[in-house]
Structure 1
Amino acid sequence: MTAPGIDTCSLVPLYVEPHFRETQLSQATAFLWLRYDGRLALMTNWHVVSGRNHETDECLSKMGGIPDRLRLHMPYVDRATPPLIIDIPTVDSDGEPLWIEHEQHGRAVDIVALPISLPPPDIVATMPMNAVRTVSLKQRVGLPLFILGYPFGRQGLGLPVWKQGSFASEPYFTGHDAQRYLIVDTASRPGMSGSPVIQRVHGEIELEDAHGRMVAGDGGCRFVGIYSGRFHTNDAGDAQLGRVWPAPLVDEIANSTRF
């Protein structure tokens, strides 16, 4: 149940800490996805679970550590209670990955799915991203979107930060082999890797259809994809552009036959 005035989408992001044994290596975000067979998948980035750059394979931790589990902070229905901590193994006893990558592109698509089992829904407050009611909001370059994650770690009641950005590349061409990701304009911070990215509009909305229909009401939401961080440069005053891997890739990986 969502408290009055709390956006349902705020229940979607989950705070995770990649660990090697008892050492925390970083912080990140994840979210749940409901598979076609009714099971749940935990979605985040390849670089979060592997501890390596998905393009160069370089180790991301200054300590050289590679995660063997994710420490997932699962909020109780009573958010004033400290969260339930669940350890999600990322490798088996032989060090082999337990995550599911894209069947065709592998780590070139910076998304993974992990199997997960949760307590009953009347105990923990969770919402799979694809269980949120969505509509086909109009997508155009320059329009706003939101990245929902934990740039400062989990704080207070554990609700995510809604970081606003905008479409910085043409959404129409996202997913083509030449560029499988969408470019967004946003000044994100560490901890937001793995965040769900959404469009959220209140009041009258414009739908993405042949007629450009305007619909009055209480607004709408559309899942855009999963955020995987900014383009890295050596210039502190860079353009602050980031990658979002589009929604169809999330669904393909979550519903992989290898799950």
Structure 2
Amino acid sequence: MSHIALIARQRSGTNALGSALNNHPDIFYLNEVFHDHPLIKGRLDGGLTIYNYFYFITQVYNKSISDLCNIREVFDLYIQYISSNSNKKINIIDIKYNSLANLSYPWRGPLEPPAIFRLLNENSIPVIRITRINYLAAYISFKTSEKTGVLHKSKIENNETMIIDVDVQDMFSTFNIWGKEDDLIDEWLSICYSVVTFDYSSIFESDGSLSGVVSRAVSSLFPGLEVGGLMPGLLKINTRPMCETVRNFDEVAGALRRTRHAWMLD
């Protein structure tokens, strides 16, 4: 049995990608298993809570978080636990940026790589890293989800997409933070066993199926495994143009046109 780590920021298409890969008979997608609140109602789909890392520690390993000293040993036991409970050949472990540090020792330096990167390398677990270089589209997706409370949907609905107002100063501040985060992730991934990277924009073909880019990336890690053409079980929460989603779009566009981010308006 093999494992792949899927690393990305929220709103980067991982849930849609995972729902498509989950349709392959040999693949099991594990959604955000290092999130530290596994039992929040609706956070995880039915049955998936048992795969959460913190559920494993407290309910299976029977330890409190404060008792953990040997993270390597616990991580190895956790990977064995996933393998013993999954009947698929490949488990895809979804790890979001904001949960990367949840496996680190409390005395980790602020710029030191979180322990998960070393653990993935030591266990020869390859990484698929998804970027979303269009920060504007990602920011609007974040804010729309934040306002509606909808993370994703599984069917086409007739509900009007909620219109949002963008705080331009907050938008630029967020872009700056994301840029620094991405630089750090690039550096930290350099210690990993094997890494393939592709952008949100190249995940799906025009008909909604998984793209050749994704298929080639997966095949480079597991030769002979074909995932091209698989369809996702989740849909975008917003398919309307940005100019129809953002009430003050003219203000946003005017501010961006004077910067290196202007291309994101296209």
- With the shorter chain as reference, the TM-score category is under 0.3
Structure with bigger gyration radius? 2
Higher relative contact order structure (alpha carbons within 8 Å, sequence separation ≥ 6)? 2
TM-score normalised by the chain length of structure 2: 0.24
Q: Which has the higher strand share?
A: 1
- Name the one with the larger helix percent: 2
TM-score by length of 1: 0.25
